[in-house]
Amino acid sequence: MNKWIPKILAGMFVLFLSLFAADAIGEGGLAVLIHLIPVGIIAGLMILGWYRPRAGVIAFAGLGAALIINSIVGHHAGWILAIPCFGFTGFFGFKNHKLKSASAAGATAGTPKPAPH
**Per-residue pLDDT at 48:** 87
Res 50 pLDDT > 80: yes
Whole-Å CA distances, 86 to 1, 81, 103: 18, 9, 26
pLDDT digits (tens, 9 = 90+) for 69-87: 988 898 777 788 888 888 8
**Domains: count for the chain:** 1
Q: Encode 66-86: b = buried (16+ Cβ within 10 Å), e = exposed.
A: ebbeebeeeeeebeebbebbb
What whole-number percentage of the chain has pLDDT above 70? 77
Pick 26 or 93 by higher pLDDT. 26
Res 102 pLDDT > 60: no
**What range defines the domain where residue 45 resides?**
5-96
Does any domain span residue 112?
no
Amino acid in the structure at residue 51: Y
Does any domain span residue 104?
no
Does any domain span residue 105?
no
Does any domain span residue 101?
no
- Which DSSP letter does residue 22 get? G
Q: Are 80 and 74 in contact (CB under 8 A)?
A: no
Does any domain span residue 108?
no
Handedness of CA 68, 72, 74, 77 (dihedral sign): positive
Does any domain span residue 45?
yes
Average pLDDT along the chain: 78
Q: Are 45 and 60 in contact (CB under 8 A)?
A: yes
Res 94 pLDDT > 60: yes
- Which DSSP letter does residue 19 get? G
Mean pLDDT, range 8-29, rounded to an integer: 85
Q: Are 15 and 40 in contact (CB under 8 A)?
A: no
Res 1 pLDDT > 60: no
